Amino acid sequence: MIIFSSFNTKLIALLLCLITGTSFAQESALYLKNETHTFTSAFNAYQALTEKYPEQCRFQDFGASDYGIPVPLFILNENGTFTAAEFALKSVILINNAIHPGEPCGVDASIQLAQDLLEGGLPKNVIIAIIPIYNIGGAHNRSCCSRANQNGPLEYGFRGNSKNLDLNRDFIKADSKNTLAFYKIFHYLNPSIFIDTHTSNGADYQHTMTLITSQLNKMNPALANYTENKLNPYLFEKMAEGNYPMVPYVHTIEGIPDNGIKDYLETPRYSTGYTNLFNTISYVAEAHMLKTYEERVKSTYLLLKEMINYAEVNHIELEAARKESREAIIETKRFALNWMLNTVEFDTIPFLGYEAQYKKSDVTGIDRLFYNRDLPFEKHIRYFHTYIPTTFVDAPEYYIIPQTWDIIIERLKANQIAVYQLKEETELVVELYEILDYDTKKSPYEGHYLHSNVKVNAVKQNMTYRKGDYVVPVKNENIRFIIETLEPHAPDSYFAWNYFDAVLQQKEWFSAYVFEDEAAEMLKNDPRLRTDFEYKQANDSTFASSSFEQLYYLYKKSPNYERSNNIYPITRVLKSIDSLLLVDSF
């Protein structure tokens, strides 16, 4: 249950004012002076709007951040109703700012936008929700220079949060309290459209704004077609009319944009990869790092405004596409888990660039790249934006999760996934996975040693489950989230993020001088085993030269070897079972 508290936000605002000596009335257009809001001044700006327009907006917190200050949410609705029932009647747009506080364009654009909407009139069919600054710890870690290649503002926050986590890699593993707060916000709103505001890195070009659209291949066709053929063309057209011609994010194929650009392979660790799992049309706005801060804010403002304008006029059609997608996803039986870029098919798109040239470096003496702004060009470049699935999985009816793994249950519940418990001991025919192989990063990545390229073997088996073990029904609107997190070979599964590493470590071993006799008996009594063993000796020189490897091979075939080693503990039930006795644990 979410407990809202306007008292909390007012109290925090008062404390911030006492500490900083600032008033609630803050200058919203700091970007005109190449400056951006601090967390305190942004907070105070929204608090001032709440006090000025109390009937049309709400400012509330949604739980602690790692920094100790709650994550706030500002919501605008012209009729002043802020309930789930109201949200279901309209299109909700959620804007997330400063997940990377060194990229604050959206912070200032959103304050200006909220002020203009309240002064000029709110839309009738759209509810706008704004996270003013998501990475609160990073926002308080301000400096002039951590974004080495960025043109302003004069001072800004830091990419890592107070735990030094990149919060835009945390949406599945949920190591941060901020992420748990985001879960509450997201599932409370169930937004139709989500947009995460950023500043780009990379090549130089004329465009001020670039856009990442959530990976269309992963979306249900109803929503993908709507996004690609209706919403996106509108946004690109309106940005051009507003003198901010926009292109997809410039993620180069090789070196420079002239050679072509490609879409990101978006996985659920990222904000839009996560939100897209729940049938939300999702975007990342990437204003260009080398443009002035004023222009970056203005282009972000225009994009947000046009997103709202589109949803206001096309509310019924937008929600119909989402409804069709939700209904279709429940009936989907097969899901792609892993993808590779299609390097054969591409579109050509107009691109405003600068001539890429090379000259001798004054530092290294080696040729270096530079973009010659005296030689602007307009040309068509290749745009690779389709991915081909490489791994599929058929959706089961249920996943069974032993109650031992409560850390997984906590994350499922936080994402509003329906979870039940067995009322009594139950025997079931299940499909379990043997973990055959995987790669692991050699250095930490966001606090984990991430697994990838996971290979599994599915085996059917009778298993007995205890009273209190968990059952997760799969075929519902949240099916993509369930599968992406619980299938171990999915790229951002809980297995990939190390939550099951304990099952990958063998606990019991053998003393070679004792086991020698048992191994000899095994070979004597099992002709087939002896044939396989001798074949391996003859064809694997490394094996033949190692007495340990030969004994270990036989040990793994013996009754002594622990059967839980490398066995993924979450199992799959492939058929619906009416006789399951369950209690709702949500």
Query: What number is the average pLDDT over the span 54-61?
Result: 97
Tokens of 385: 């934006």
How confident is the model at residue 16, as a pLDDT?
45
Q: Is the peptide bond before 389 cis (omega within 30 degrees of 0)?
A: no
Place of tokens 């509003």: 416
State the pLDDT confidence band at 576, using cuts at 50, 70 and 90: confident
Residues 124, 145: Cα–Cα separation, whole Å: 42
- H or E segment to which residue 9 belongs: helix 6-20
Q: What are phi and psi of 471, to 5 degrees?
A: -125, 130
What integer is the mean pLDDT of 420-434? Answer: 96
Note the pLDDT of residue 563: 87
pLDDT at 581 over 80: no
As a whole number of angstroms, the distance between CA 224 and CA 213 comes to 10
pLDDT at 567: 97
Q: Averaged over 303-324, what is the pLDDT?
A: 98
The mean-pLDDT minimum among 24-38, 70-84, 198-212 falls in: 24-38
Q: Quick one: fold of 26-329?
A: Aminopeptidase (3.40.630)
261 touches 383 (CB < 8 A): yes
Residue 221's alpha-carbon distances to 32, 74, 94, 325, 326, in angstroms, are 42, 32, 22, 7, 11
Looking at the predicted structure, is the pLDDT value of residue 544 above 50?
A: yes
pLDDT of residue 143: 97
pLDDT tier at 582, thresholds 50, 70, 90:
confident
pLDDT digit string (tens) for 217-234?
999 999 999 999 999 999
pLDDT value of residue 28: 55
The pLDDT, as a whole number, for residue 311 is 98
Strand partners, 388: 340
Flag whether pLDDT at 4 surpasses 70.
no
Q: Is the pLDDT assigned to residue 126 strictly greater than 70?
A: yes
- Does 13 have pLDDT greater than 70? no
Size of the chain, expressed as the number of residues it contains: 586
Question: Residues 275-289: pLDDT tens digits?
Answer: 999 999 999 999 999
Instruction: Tell me what the mean pLDDT of segment 236-264 comes to.
Output: 96
Asked whether the predicted pLDDT for residue 566 surpasses 60, the reply is yes
Helix (H) and strand (E) counts in the chain: 17, 20
Residue 314 has a CB neighbour count (10 Å cut-off) of 18
What pTM was computed for the model? 0.92
User: Is pLDDT above 60 for 426?
Assistant: yes
Q: Is the pLDDT reported for residue 5 higher than 50? A: no
Across 11-25, 108-122, 362-376, 385-399, least confident range? 11-25
Using pLDDT thresholds of 50, 70 and 90, give the confidence band for residue 170: very high
Is the pLDDT score of 324 beyond 70? yes
Whole-number pLDDT of residue 8: 55
Q: Where are the beta strands (DSSP E) in 441-579?
A: 451-465, 470-473, 571-573
* Residue 24: predicted pLDDT: 32
Model pLDDT, residue 21: 37
**Per-residue confidence (pLDDT) for residue 57, from 0 to 100:** 97
Backbone angles phi, psi at 200, to 5 degrees: -75, 170
Residue 15: is its pLDDT beyond 70?
no
Supply the pLDDT for residue 17: 43
> What local confidence, expressed as pLDDT, does residue 580 receive?
73
Token output for 65: 């951040």
Domains of the chain: which residue ranges? 26-329, 347-388, 395-506+565-584, 512-557
- Rounded CA-CA distance 262/254 in Å is 10
Q: Environment class of residue 482 by beta-carbon count within 10 Å: exposed (0-12), middle (13-18) or buried (19+)?
A: buried
pLDDT at 14: 44
Q: Residue 586's pLDDT band (boundaries 50, 70, 90)?
A: low
Identify the pLDDT of residue 553: 95
pLDDT reported for residue 319: 98
Does residue 436 register a pLDDT over 50? yes
Average pLDDT, the chain: 94
Q: Which of 260, 262, 263 is nearest to 380 (CA)?
A: 260
Q: What is the rounded distance in angstroms from the CA atom of residue 451 to the CA atom of residue 496?
A: 5
